[in-house]
Amino acid sequence: MNAIVIGGNKTCCMDYTNKEVLQIDQLTITNHLPDIGIGKIREEIITGLTSGNKYISSKFFYDEVGSGLFEEITKLGEYYPTRTEKSILRSIASRVMVNTQYVDIVELGSGDCSKISIFFDAVNPHNMEGLHYLPVDVSQSALQHSANSLIERFPGLQVSCQVADFMCQVGKIPYNAQRLFCFFGSTIGNFEIDEAKQFLIGLSQSMQPGDQLLIGFDMVKDEKVLHAAYNDAEGVTAKFNKNILNVVNKLIGSDFNLDSFYHLAFYSKKKARIEMHLVANEEVKVNSPHFQGGSITIKKGEGIHTENSHKYTLFDIHHFAQLSGLELKEIYTDANGWFSLAHMVKPA
């Protein structure tokens, strides 16, 4: 077993080779990524980069640098989703956490701990020892950092970090009690529509009767607001977008030059989504031992699709709930109707 040093030397954030389990007091970290394997990951990346319309999965944004850049994005004035969702969480935290003393709280794509902390602040300190928090993320460093912060702030909280790809490894999450699944940030919007439907169906099938789901949806709104949120004046989103090439370089041994690409984000009204791309500002030859022939060429003006961020309506939320077989209990939203949190339950 390779030990993970908490608060010490930095470890690889997406380790697909070393299966690790570490337990220190009330903290456990389990790495499930090797069950996917580095070979499959490389195959996925190569397939995307050699297709007619090139793409890289948005899950590869979140190495240590990418996770840090995303935290910066959430604090920008133009980026409304995080602060809007947090305002909703503060308004409902006491209601959601009233009967959760012996509940496993599973947060998918947890990132930093700022949102879940709002819920824990609403818990009576005497009940904290009965809580078990299971954050799930591909970024090991983000999980470690958040876990340390939470344990220091909430003594008695049990934290079991699951380094995993929740898209295909939901079944790896331990089950000890009734669960509250939290899927914040409108991460569901990163999926293609059919993928989102299949993911929610699969999640519902893995839930037990009485399990709950609290899921965020970014709503359709003024295009100017959307454009500004993904094209901030400080250029942090552009750095975040480009950093995915650094992650790819590490995973497939390629030599992408970030300066050869520029950030492009736009709203497609027809598809109701923001699209993010990296566009070559010159003809680029990229080398990797995993490319057939050793290299690929990306033409000037050719793009690599890195992320979608779908926007939704209330009809969409009701449709997702019905399709997944979950009972929609409540939809919480802000005064502007910019963001919604849907509370669903697995029926008996």
Residue 141, pLDDT score = 80
Greatest alpha-carbon pair distance for the chain in Å reads: 62
Helix (H) or strand (E) holding 219: none
Q: What is the pLDDT of residues 144-194, one digit of tens each?
A: 889 999 999 998 889 999 999 998 898 888 888 899 999 999 999 999 999
Please state the three-class secondary structure of 299-345 as a single string.
Answer: CCCCEEEEEEEECECHHHHHHHHHHHCCEEEEEEECCCCCEEEEEEE
Predicted TM-score (pTM) of this structure: 0.91
Give the start-end residues of each E strand in the chain.
21-24, 27-31, 104-108, 132-137, 158-163, 179-183, 212-218, 261-268, 273-280, 284-287, 295-298, 303-310, 327-333, 339-345
- Give backbone dihedrals phi and psi of 23, rounded to 5 degrees, phi first: -130, 125
Cβ pair 252, 48 in contact under 8 A? no
Domains of the chain: 21-34+78-222+312-345 (3.40.50.150), 47-60+227-310 (no CATH)
Residue 101, pLDDT score = 67
- Give backbone dihedrals phi and psi of 12, rounded to 5 degrees, phi first: -65, 130
Residue 77, pLDDT score = 96
Helices vs strands, H then E, count in the chain: 9, 14
Q: What is the pLDDT of residues 307-332, one digit of tens each?
A: 999 999 999 999 999 999 999 999 99
Three-state SS at 181: strand
